[in-house]
Amino acid sequence: MNNQKYLIAANWKQNGDAKTLIRLINDFIRLHKKVKPVCDILILPPAIYLETILNRLKHHKISRKRISLGAQNISSYENGAYTGELSVDMTKDYNCNYALVGHSERRHVFNEDDKIISKKVRLSIESGMQTILCVGETIIEYDKKLTKKVILRQLKSALVKSVDLFKSDHSKIIIAYEPVWAIGTGKTASLDDIRDIHSYIHNSLSKILGIKTNNIKILYGGSVNDLNASLILSLPNVNGALVGGASLNSKKFIDICSSI
Ligand code: PGA
């Protein structure tokens, strides 16, 4: 699988405002033109700024192939009377071609359960999005050595109803392994744990698909920064990173993108 490009995604979460995010994307584009990283880059801005960021990319003549845009979250409904929600098709109006589903903050802060996540995965793939499904264990589950059990449950429940949609094109789904206790804490999983869990996810995906091996990308997330990225990204079955805090600093984020 490793002749595929790495994917480095910036999850800006609910941070910044128009002024700071325009400055951030302008700085990042300037560094990107200088450094020319070889990986695929994805920006996940707060949805209300998708158009603003899209306009900056267009203004600087950055093609969608070099820096893509994605949605941090999508509704589990196609459309209708769901106040405050954002349909996957609406995000496509702003050139989004990726959607994040089941981020730990959606699962744990907004109580999204396996059923909702499974619906979102299907809607997202059906609408043509490259869909990034996040999985990961809490610290209690980690301490009880339940990591693999939890991840297998999250993978199966989110994917079994959509296997028909990505069976013949593995690029439609991407997995992000993010231990909940590593997100925003400055603690990353050990390299041995990342190697072990990514290989477990890779093998579990083959089983879910009913085939011997697969080309599904698996990203690591959880306190990835400019100092630890190159070691993490050199591990087998690590095909990119999902970056939160460090993606809010253009210099740190370009360093992560160029550490491959
Ligand atoms: P972090 O966030 O890099 O700040 O730990 C990662 C994520 O939540 O995707």
Q: Match 């050139």 to its residue by tokens.
A: 95
Q: What's the predicted TM-score (pTM) here? A: 0.97
Cα gap 48→2, rounded to integer Å: 35
Residue 249: pLDDT over 70: yes
Kind plus residue range of the DSSP H or E element containing 19: helix 18-35
**Is there a catalytic annotation at residue 137?**
no
Kind plus residue range of the DSSP H or E element containing 225: none
Cα gap 74→78, rounded to integer Å: 9
Q: Say how far residue 46 (Cα) sits from the centre of its chain.
A: 14
For residue range 99-139, what is the model confidence (pLDDT) as tens digits? Answer: 999 999 999 999 999 999 999 999 999 999 999 999 999 99
Q: Does the beta carbon of 121 sit less than 6 angstroms from any atom of ligand 1?
A: no
Q: Which residues contact 91 (CB under 8 A, 6 or more apart)?
A: 47, 50, 70, 71, 74, 99, 129
For residue 190 the two structure tokens come to 């050990």
> 11 CA to middle of ligand 1, Å?
7
Mutate to test the pocket of ligand 1, among 178, 252, 257 (most ligand atoms within 8 A of CB): 178
Cα gap 241→245, rounded to integer Å: 12
Cα gap 60→57, rounded to integer Å: 5
Mutate to test the pocket of ligand 1, among 12, 42, 135, 183 (most ligand atoms within 8 A of CB): 183
> 166 CA to middle of ligand 1, Å?
26
Cα gap 80→66, rounded to integer Å: 34
For residue range 158-202, what is the model confidence (pLDDT) as tens digits? Answer: 999 999 999 999 999 999 999 999 999 999 999 999 999 999 999
The amino acid that residue 147 corresponds to is T
- Name the DSSP class of 181: G
